[in-house]
Amino acid sequence: MSQAPSAADARDRVTELIRDARICMLTTMALDGRQVSRPMGLQEAEFDGDLWFFAYADSAKVRQIRVNPEVNVSFSDQRRRAWVSISGMATDGYDRARVERLWNPMLETWFPEGLDTPGLTTIKVHAVSAEYWDSPSSPVVDLLGLARAAVTGRPPEPGERREVRY
């Protein structure tokens, strides 16, 4: 029986999984109480508890964050069969030095005037907790697990699941 990873190892695994996935879904609360998710590109591969994104300051997501800063950011890496869900508190703000440090030329697709795009801002999500599911097995192994579950009546073991606090 393997030992559960330490809290530090689990945080490192979250970092590794989100670094590989890079594209995520940012979920905010709309003013009418609905949850709204949209794809976002993570701007920093190192994860120290904060996630960074670019946005327009007048966008709906930024307005929603200003009213209710509680958000969720979820990552899915189908190739590696791993998922991460991060709950946190979001803020927006413009810091030219940070924008310059995080900027990459691919962003000009959404922000055509580059660093000088009017209304350019960043969203920072400070993680409160994260949960990940990591399935190192192959689809064949998963099918065998499902077959075993059908015979034994016990649910399959899909891989490692951990919750991490920040």
Mean pLDDT over 6-17 rounds to: 86
Determine the pLDDT at residue 109: 94
Distance CA 74, CA 35 (A): 13
**Residue pLDDT, tens place only, 37-79:** 999 998 876 677 899 999 999 999 999 999 999 999 999 987 7
For residues 87 and 29, the answer to whether their CB atoms sit within 8 Å is no
pTM of the model as a whole: 0.81
What value does the mean pLDDT of the chain take?
85
Helix, coil or strand: residue 5: coil
| Contact present, 64 and 29 (Cβ < 8 Å) | yes
**Is 7-165 CATH 3.30.470.20?**
no
8 A C-beta contact, residue 136 and residue 158: no
Between CA 145 and CA 138 the distance in angstroms is 11
**Per-residue tokens: 26:** 């940012």
Query: Percentage of the chain surpassing pLDDT 70?
Result: 81
- As a whole number of angstroms, the distance between CA 1 and CA 12 comes to 22
- pLDDT per residue as tens digits for the range 128-165: 999 999 876 545 444 444 455 556 666 655 566 767 88
